[in-house]
Structure 1
Amino acid sequence: MPSPDEASRLLQLALDARRRGDALLHLQIDIAHLTGQASSWGSAENRMQRDDHVGYFLSEVEKLGWRLEHTGYAFVESGATTSSRIWGTGEGVVNHGGIEAFFTFRAM
């Protein structure tokens, strides 16, 4: 679920669009983060932090009179950390970034 402030902002956008009579609503939400640290051996220690409450938020949007029509996802890289491997066999890479979800709703 987005942060409380972000959820309020997005729900207000949905409400405003509904009041204007918009036929479609498009929302972009950050739903997961890829983080990690380089290990002393030079390997990658990536971890995915997921948001398991996105469905709850989408249900709140639908309560405002919208029906989910389409969903898309993209990984947005924000950087990477590299470290040399201890035996000189290259580098370990830890990517950082977020998974953005794109939700398109149609007015009911």
Structure 2
Amino acid sequence: MIWLVKEIAKEFFKSLPEDKAKTESEKAGNKDQDESSKIEQSRLQEDPDFSASPAGRARAAKAAGMRLFQIELSLSRTKAEIIPLDGAYAHTQETEDYIQALESIEKEGWKLEHAGYVSRITGSESRLKYWGTGEQSAVNGEIIGIYIFRRENA
């Protein structure tokens, strides 16, 4: 009896020929996508410098099928300096050309969706005032840009 129910269920749930054609074409499309993803992964493994760059990370995320990509770039660094009998100062310098990094990510097929900025304090230096009361201090830190991209064809 169970055997008969199984046979009837097989016939009842058998897919239509159009459905079979659709699933076969989808499987072929997925195979092509998997092959291109494997080729892209092998390219990234060949050049470790590129794969560590923002564009390389974006390409790897796209090859992995990600729809969103987030990257944090250091925009500037501040270094504290204490000069005895003079005071506490902070010197700021830009760290890298982040515009070029953002453009290289967009060339990989990503569109900038959102940007945010944070200040991260990494330390401070202080000293007591020589004449008088109180102290002078300067802060070490950096400003970080947080960028979120969306894949263009998503």
Decide which structure has greater strand share.
1
Residue in 1 that maps onto 2:76: 32
Aligned-partner Cα distance in 1 for 2:115–2:66: 19
- In structure 1, list runs of 5 or more residues that go unmatched: none
Indicate the residue corresponding to 1:91 in structure 2. Answer: 135
Number of aligned residue pairs: 104
| Residues 1:61 and 1:52: Cα distance change in structure 2 (over 3 Å) | same
Letter in 1 for 2:110: W
Change (3 A) 1:105 1:18: same
Task: Tell me the TM-score normalised to structure 1 length.
Answer: 0.84
Higher relative contact order (CA 8 A, sep 6+): 1
2:71 aligned with 1:71: no
Q: Secondary structure at the match of 1:15?
A: helix
Which residue matches 1:22?
66
Q: Say whether the 8 Å CA contact 1:36–1:44 is kept in structure 2.
A: yes
CA distance in 2, matches of 1:56, 1:92: 38
Q: Counting helix residues as a fraction of each chain, which structure ranks higher?
A: 2
Q: Distance in 2 between matches of 1:92 and 1:6?
A: 42
State the Cα RMSD in Å: 2.0
% same residue: 26
Structure 2: which amino acid aligns with 1:95?
V
Secondary structure (helix, strand or coil) at the match of 1:22 reads coil
Query: d(CA) in 1 for partners of 2:127 and 2:147?
Result: 37
Question: Moved runs in structure 1, 4+ residues, more than 3 A?
Answer: 5-8
Deviation, 1:103, is: 0.5
TM-score, normalised by the number of residues in structure 2: 0.61
Larger Rg: 2
Deviation at 1:30, TM superposition (A): 1.4
1:55 aligns with 2:99: yes
